[in-house]
């Protein structure tokens, strides 16, 4: 009976010791510049881990860096990465309406060099962080950001890989794909009216012609913004959240990272 009493007393203590401590995710607002333009990004990483680890750049949707991208950065930090959500538009430039967002996105989509330079400025912040493993960096982006990380890859910047979530796939110069040095994963809504089949076909031809290591995953029934719960649930509007595609695409990204960072 005495030994049983001791065992019962120790059981909850042992159980408590066996539970791993939750990751201590640290976040920081980071100001940086591209030429003379002030930008404001968001950094996230597990403060309990002192060793270097792969880094992931996150590029926002067309309304600029907001809560959605910050959440994704924290989720990446929980997976063990240093994550930096970049700011393409500039500090304080956060479109509030569809029209304002369209104006900002068009400004950069019509000037791909500027778009690439802004993305590269954020990449440099991530590269310079003391916890980022040199040579082990990827970039992911959503909608406008998906197209941005593809442009970053086309610029010839050294990246292990890029992931586009429901992003635009077009580019002014298809030959730029020959500059891509890492792997490419495109996660696409099969019924996305904003990225029509013709654009998808052209992208596939572009990747094949440049002999890129690429993947294209299409989610049936998914339209634009399928990972964003703020997009509503009406696919007839062209943009809508789809839970299954959201979960599957995140899992596909994790598998992709396990390959490029092994």
Contact call for residues 122 and 91 (beta carbons, < 8 A): no
Cα–Cα distance list, 234 to 137, 143, 167, 250 (Å): 35, 18, 19, 21
* Percent of the chain at pLDDT exceeding 70: 91
From CA 194, how far away is CA 198, in angstroms rounded? 11
Work out the pLDDT band at 244, boundaries 50, 70, 90: very high
Taking the domains of the chain in order of start, what are their residue ranges? 27-260
Summarised one tens digit per residue, pLDDT across range 207-243 is 999 999 999 999 999 999 999 999 999 999 999 999 9
CATH ID of 27-260, from 3.40.50.1100, 3.40.50.1820, 1.20.140.10, 3.40.640.10: 3.40.50.1820
In this structure, the chain runs to a length of 262
- In this structure, what DSSP letter does residue 20 have? P
Q: What is the pLDDT of residue 23?
A: 63
Strands 132-142 and 183-189: unpaired
What pairs with residue 139 in β-bridges? 57, 162
What are 17-57's pLDDT values in tens digits? 333 445 689 999 999 999 999 999 999 999 999 999 999 99
């Amino acid at each position: 009976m005495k030994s049983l009493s001791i065992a019962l007393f120790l059981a909850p203590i042992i159980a408590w010791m066996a539970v791993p401590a939750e990751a201590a995710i640290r976040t920081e607002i980071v100001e940086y510049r591209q030429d003379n333009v002030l930008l404001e990004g968001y950094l996230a990483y597990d403060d309990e881990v002192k060793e270097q680890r792969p880094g992931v750049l996150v590029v926002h949707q067309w309304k600029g860096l907001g809560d959605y991208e910050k959440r994704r950065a924290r989720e990446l930090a929980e997976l063990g990465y240093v994550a930096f959500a970049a700011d393409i538009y500039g500090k304080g430039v956060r479109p509030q309406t569809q029209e304002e967002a369209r104006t900002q996105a068009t400004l950069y989509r019509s000037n791909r060099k500027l778009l690439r330079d802004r993305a590269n400025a954020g990449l440099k912040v991530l590269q310079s962080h003391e916890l980022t493993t040199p040579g082990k960096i990827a970039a992911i982006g959503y909608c406008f950001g998906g197209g941005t990380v593809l442009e970053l890859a086309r610029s010839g910047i050294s990246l292990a890989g890029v992931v586009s979530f429901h992003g635009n796939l077009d580019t002014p110069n298809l030959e730029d794909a020959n500059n891509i040095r890492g792997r490419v994963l495109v996660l696409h809504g099969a019924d996305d009216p904003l990225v029509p089949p013709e654009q998808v076909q052209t992208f596939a031809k572009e990747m094949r012609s440049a002999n890129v290591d690429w993947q294209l995953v299409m989610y049936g029934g998914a339209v634009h913004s399928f990972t964003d719960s703020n997009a509503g649930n009406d696919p007839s509007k062209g943009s809508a959240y789809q839970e299954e595609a959201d979960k599957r695409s995140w899992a596909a990204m994790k598998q992709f990272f396990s390959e490029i960072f092994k």
